[in-house]
Amino acid sequence: MSTFQLITQSECARAGAFNTPHGTIQTPVFMPVGTQATVKALSPEEVEATGAQIILGNTYHLYLRPGTEIIGRFGGLHRFMHWEHPILTDSGGFQVFSLAKLRKLTEAGYQFQSHIDGSAHMLSPEKSIEVQIALNSDIIMCLDQCLEHPATREQAIDALELTTRWARRCKTFWETHTERQNSLFGIVQGGMFADLRERSAEAIVAIDFPGYAIGGLSVGEPKELMMEMAAHTLPLLPADRPRYIMGVGTPEDLVELVGLGADMFDCVMPTRNARNGQLFTEQGTINICNARFREDAGPVDPACDCYTCRHYSLAYLRHLYTAREILAYRLNTIHNVHYYVNLVKGMREAILAGRFADYKNAFYAKRGDASPAF
């Protein structure tokens, strides 16, 4: 069974290590999103070169296309996509909730129609774990019930209670169908209600998982509320297990959340924004279409040593993006993923050196902010 070692703590911020069948992850860690068995626009070697240690795959997408049985024939996602490092998969619940049509939620699970071809499917807690086992994910997530924002207290209670019952079913299936080398993480829900977050955390922790996630954040709520919920929930999770904030967030979010004791993150921002021409730098975000880059022979970020910044100018990147060349999406994505991965890696080093507060101050100072924008 995978284990987490908490190496050091600097106030709330933590540095740790988590063992998986495909290697040890140094935390805190950012996980690039590889929805359809590829981190969009990158080769596995390029993902690796950014310093990424683990990527996230989307069970909903992979289950529908190419299908579990095909990936299963390759012994899982690693060999299918040529990525030999750890993989975390989500449960599929969030995409059923956000992408699929005609879904019906029952105690049994989600009934839904594929957004690709309209075919009918049933995603139960057991099915979700079964698919993730076939994908051979190193970290498997429990199926949970996602909530719209805003949700009423009653809706939030129903969702967290169903999530708890499903978490037990997931754990039972995982215990009876695996050797438990791949870790199963429980997910805390509870909407935007601090006491319900507490109730959910207590129930999920009582089931006892190798790791815990906080779900249902960054779903449209104000930033302050997200931070309040995270700040309230993180300390309720056991110190000897990794803590994963799902689907978050901006660079500022990551700095704040590591400061609150979070260990793992995934987000489409670096990859999606890259494809929209938005690039992250230490000084803030730039848009590569901007006319001021037309003749700029300098790199995106002089402080960055990614492949893109080492070899290409802003003028060239602007040209490629304006001309809609495929290479534009790749070069932008390499830079953004490198930025995110190394932002979090830098926090880890600062925590190990007992300088996390300095790191945070320097982060905001470079951006010209005295403190977070929220």
* H helices present in 208-325, as ranges: 223-233, 251-259, 269-275, 307-311, 314-322
Q: Which is nearer to its own copies, 82 or 180 (CB)?
A: 82
Is 49 a binder of its own copies (CB under 8 A)? no
- 138, 253, 266, 301: the catalytic one is 266
Note whether 326 binds its own copies by CB under 8 A.
yes
Q: Decide if 266 is catalytic.
A: yes
Report yes or no: 333 and 272 within 8 Å, Cβ to Cβ. no
Of 286, 281, 244, 263, nearest to 366 by C-alpha is: 281
Q: Which of 31, 33, 42, 213 binds its own copies (CB under 8 A)?
A: 42
Amino acid at 368: G
Cβ of 130: how many Cβ atoms within 10 Å?
Answer: 16
Please name which of 9, 8, 18 lies closest in space to residue 210, comparing C-alpha atoms: 18
Nearer to its own copies, 9 or 114 (CB): 114
Rounded to a whole number of angstroms, the minimum distance from the CB of residue 37 to its own copies is: 7
Applying CB under 8 A, does 73 fall inside the site for its own copies?
yes
Give 67's contacts (C-beta < 8 A, 6+ positions apart): none
Active site residue 240: no
Q: Which stretch binds its own copies (CB under 8 A): 51-59, 136-144, 210-218, 310-318?
A: 310-318
Rounded to an integer, what distance in angstroms lies between the CA atom of residue 174 and that of residue 180? 7
Query: Rounded to the nearest 5°, which phi and psi values hold at 135?
Result: -75, -15
Minimum CB separation of residue 87 from its own copies in Å reads 15
Residue with tokens 């949970």: 144
Q: Quick one: which of 9, 24, 26, 38 contacts its own copies (CB under 8 A)?
A: 38
With respect to its own copies, which residue has the nearer C-beta, 65 or 165?
Answer: 65
Which residue among 5, 65, 152, 235 contacts its own copies (CB under 8 A)?
65
Rounded to a whole number of angstroms, the minimum distance from the CB of residue 56 to its own copies is: 16
Q: Given the rule CB under 8 A, which of 165-173, 213-221, 318-326, 354-362 is the region that contacts its own copies?
A: 318-326
Out of 231, 327, 352, 362, point to the residue binding its own copies (CB under 8 A): 327
In whole angstroms, the minimum distance from the beta carbon of 316 to its own copies comes to: 6
For residue 74, state whether it binds its own copies (rule: CB under 8 A).
yes
Mask: binding to its own copies, 261-300, rule CB under 8 A, as x and -?
Answer: ---------------------------------xx-x---
Say whether 26 sits in a helix, a strand or coil.
strand
Residue 296 near residue 315, CB atoms below 8 Å: yes
366 lies in the site for its own copies, by CB under 8 A: no
Residue 78 near residue 39, CB atoms below 8 Å: no
Query: To the nearest whole angstrom, how small is the minimum distance from the Cβ of residue 90 to its own copies?
Result: 17
Task: Confirm or reject binding of residue 153 to its own copies (CB under 8 A).
Answer: no
Window contacting its own copies (CB under 8 A); options: 78-86, 143-151, 200-208, 343-351: 78-86
CB atoms within 10 A of CB 134: 21
Residues 143 and 185: their CA atoms lie apart, in Å, by 10
**335 contributes a contact to its own copies by CB under 8 A:** no
**What value, to the nearest 5°, has the Cα angle with vertex 23 and ends 17 and 29?**
45
Backbone angles phi, psi at 9, to 5 degrees: -135, 140
Using only C-alpha atoms, the chain has a radius of gyration, in whole angstroms, of: 20
Q: How many residues bind its own copies (CB under 8 A)?
A: 33
Is residue 80 close enough to count as binding its own copies by CB under 8 A?
Answer: yes
H helical segments located in 281-369: 307-311, 314-322, 326-352, 356-366
Q: Provide, rounded to whole angstroms, the least separation between the CB of residue 41 and its own copies.
A: 4
Distance between CA atoms of residues 267 and 246, nearest Å: 8
98: contact with its own copies by CB under 8 A: no
Q: Please state, in angstroms and rounded to a whole number, the distance separating the CA atoms of residues 318 and 300.
A: 10
Beta pairing partners, 111: 104, 122
Catalytic (active-site) positions = 90, 266
Return residues touching its own copies (CB under 8 A): 36-38, 40-43, 65-66, 70, 73-74, 80-82, 294-295, 297, 311-313, 315-316, 318-320, 322-323, 325-327, 329-330
